[in-house]
Amino acid sequence: MQRTLVLIKPDGVQRGLVGEIIRRLERRGLKLIAMKMMQVPREQASRHYAEHQGKAFYEGLLGFITSGPIVAMIWEGREAVTVVRSLMGSTDPLKAQPGTIRGDLALDLGMNLIHGSDSPARAESEIALFFSAAEFHEYERTIDQWIRE
């Protein structure tokens, strides 16, 4: 099973969409193995967005992700990275398909509600940035027999 990091950004928390976003991930069959609400310190945000350092929008990214609480989660499932990315929709909500989180719930590129890792390798590093191994919860779900062969 693959794991991926999902962050519900400050706009998602402020708009009361945490439950709706979690519902969509659960309904798809993904398994939640870690979750916490937190305020992201600037230093941690800088590491998370390091690939964008030097770009015109970098400071705005840092300012936004540190502006309020987020909900950080680890989801597990078959091809979890790809599944989460398809559920999220395009980064630009105006280009996101209806039925996706961003396509249904967002309007602005800067307020796009959710972050999901873009590759399995990136998921590993992002998970390590937001969670310790002690925060993972390994458990069996009886419904898994109805989700995967």
Tell me how far apart the alpha carbons of residues 82 and 118 are, in angstroms, rounded to a whole number: 8
- Say what the pLDDT of residue 140 is: 92
Closest-CA residue to 26 (of 90, 84, 85, 98): 84
Total domains in the fold of the chain: 1
Tell me how far apart the alpha carbons of residues 129 and 103 are, in angstroms, rounded to a whole number: 28
For residue 72, the surrounding DSSP H or E stretch is strand 70-77
- Say what the pLDDT of residue 145 is: 87
- Say what the pLDDT of residue 148 is: 82
> Catalytic one among 48, 52, 115, 137?
115
- Say what the pLDDT of residue 22 is: 98
Per-residue pLDDT tens listing for the chain (149 residues): 999 999 999 999 999 999 999 999 999 999 999 999 999 999 999 999 999 999 999 999 999 999 999 999 999 999 999 999 999 999 999 999 999 999 999 999 999 999 999 999 999 999 999 999 999 999 999 898 888 88
* 88 within 8 A of 17, measured Cβ to Cβ: no
- Say what the pLDDT of residue 101 is: 98
DSSP reduced 3-state for 50? helix
- Say what the pLDDT of residue 95 is: 97
- Say what the pLDDT of residue 66 is: 97
26: left (phi over 0), alpha (psi -120 to 50) or beta: alpha
* CATH number for 133: 3.30.70.141
* 77 within 8 A of 2, measured Cβ to Cβ: yes
Residues present in the chain in total: 149
Q: Which domain holds residue 103?
A: 2-146
Tell me how far apart the alpha carbons of residues 4 and 10 are, in angstroms, rounded to a whole number: 19
- Residue 52 annotated to the active site: no
Tell me how far apart the alpha carbons of residues 78 and 61 are, in angstroms, rounded to a whole number: 30
* 102 within 8 A of 112, measured Cβ to Cβ: yes
